[in-house]
Amino acid sequence: MKYFIVSVFVLFVSSYTCLADEATMPASKGILVVEVTNGTANGAAVAGDEVIVGIFENSQLLHSLNGEVDADGKAVFEDVPVGDNIVALARAKHQDMMFNGRPVVLKPTEDKHTTNIEVYDVSLEKSHLSVGAHHIMIKARSEYLEITEYLQIRNSSDMAVSSKQKDSRDRKVVLEIMLPKGFKNLRATSYFVENALVVTERGFYDTMAVPPGEYQANFTYTLDITSSTMDIVKAISLPTSSLIVFAELGQAKLRGLDEAESKVTNASGAPMRYYRLNDLAPAEEVAFQIVGFNVGTSDLTTWMILSLTFVAVMVLVVLRLRPKIAVS
């Protein structure tokens, strides 16, 4: 398969000659050439595709440059600032999807800079998406469950998979992940880009297309422990070849997945159980319970007893202080 490459070349022009009495030097300028080629087998032509280049200095955006790919697969940008702290990030928009290149430091001491990026024609066929290994780590804390999920996302095609389904704000619903009811504090730690995620009551969905290949996606969230028994339902979004639930629960126990139970220890030697399920289909639900939590009812009882005692004492004080009625 060929590759869709964005190559960035920086050709530096000579600095302007300073006059002897000038207080400062003018900024150095260069020419930036972005070369775009299509990596999808028999892919669509890239001529006319939009190219966007961000110019950053010390992580602050200086300029955003826009251009078009010409018939030779190139977009040329002139008068681009160069310097040891200046970075260029080129992106190409192909079939309504953005593909990023690697950041390039535009050092004035070098006469050529190159960045590569693979981009692909876009398919709307979600049947190419699946999950290989899916691990769910559940750890009991004092007042909540800390849950981390690891997914091996697979796109078996040679195209980037997007979606024709859109939400009310015209964003594409590409990859939807269902989470247990009542989840909080969702945080993506790998693969997912937070500003491309939309959180819902049922979970979240990604609005970015999935490129060809395999990707490791990680995210965490919490569930408040509100009773001695927690009912947890995890809905499956994509065909999943293997799901393993790891449980580090202390005195609590997991019920509902007992047939697949095995015992291990974590890195610190604490006991942990895991449960394996295979060949799960979309819309299938994995349901189980965690039982044996202490939700702190003893503190409530103590406060109730203290309150009743205080009220009783106050009643006695009032009775003793009230004036006595003389009897004639």
What is the residue-wise DSSP string for 138-188?
EEE-SSEEEEEEEEEEEE-SSSEE--S-B-TTS-B--EEEE--TT-EEEEE
Strand order in the sheet with 271-280: 184-190, 213-224, 144-155, 129-140, 240-248, 271-280, 261-265
In this structure, the strands spanning 122-123 and 160-161 are parallel
Residue 93 sits in the same domain as residue 166: no
Residue 237 sits in the same domain as residue 171: yes
Residue 147 sits in the same domain as residue 90: no
In a domain, 310, yes or no: no
| Dihedral Cα 8, 64, 101, 106, nearest 10 deg | 50
Q: What is the pLDDT of residues 243-273, one digit of tens each?
A: 999 999 988 999 999 655 677 777 777 778 8
In a domain, 302, yes or no: no
pTM check: above 0.85: no
pLDDT of 297: 46
In a domain, 321, yes or no: no
Give the domain-ending residue among 102, 120, 138.
Answer: 120
Residue 156 sits in the same domain as residue 280: yes
Q: What is the pLDDT of residues 214-234, one digit of tens each?
A: 999 999 999 999 999 999 999
pLDDT band at 13 (very low <50, low <70, confident <90, very high): very low
Domain that holds residue 69: 6-13+26-120
Give the tokens for residue 26. Answer: 């003018």
pLDDT of 104: 85
pLDDT band at 210 (very low <50, low <70, confident <90, very high): very high
In a domain, 84, yes or no: yes
Give the domain-ending residue among 66, 101, 120.
Answer: 120
Residue 111 sits in the same domain as residue 240: no
The mean pLDDT value of the chain amounts to: 83
Q: Which residue has the higher pLDDT, 4 or 290?
A: 290
Residue type, 270: A
| Helices (H), ranges, the chain | 297-321
Q: Indicate the range of 6-20, 119-133, 169-183, 197-211 predicted with least confidence.
A: 6-20
In a domain, 104, yes or no: yes
In a domain, 1, yes or no: no
Residue 176 sits in the same domain as residue 281: yes
Residue 108 sits in the same domain as residue 163: no
pLDDT of 22: 42
What's the number of CA atoms in the CB half-sphere (13 Å) around residue 129?
Answer: 22
Residue 140 sits in the same domain as residue 237: yes
The yes-or-no verdict on residue 103 having pLDDT over 60 is yes
Q: What is the CATH number of the domain that holds 63?
A: 2.60.40
Give the tokens for residue 68. Answer: 């078009």
In a domain, 31, yes or no: yes
Name the phi and psi angles at 4, rounded to 5: -95, 110
Give the domain-ending residue among 71, 90, 120.
Answer: 120
Q: What is the CATH number of the domain that holds 132?
A: 2.60.40.1730
Give the separation between CA 223 and CA 79, rounded to whole angstroms.
53
Closest of 48, 38, 169, 11 to residue 99, by C-alpha: 38
pLDDT of 115: 73
Q: Indicate the range of 170-179, 241-250, 257-266, 287-296 predicted with least confidence.
A: 257-266
Q: Among residues of the chain, what percentage have pLDDT more than 70?
A: 80
Residue 205 sits in the same domain as residue 183: yes
Residue 179 sits in the same domain as residue 233: yes
Residue 231 sits in the same domain as residue 95: no
In a domain, 75, yes or no: yes
Residue 78 sits in the same domain as residue 198: no
Domain count, the chain: 2
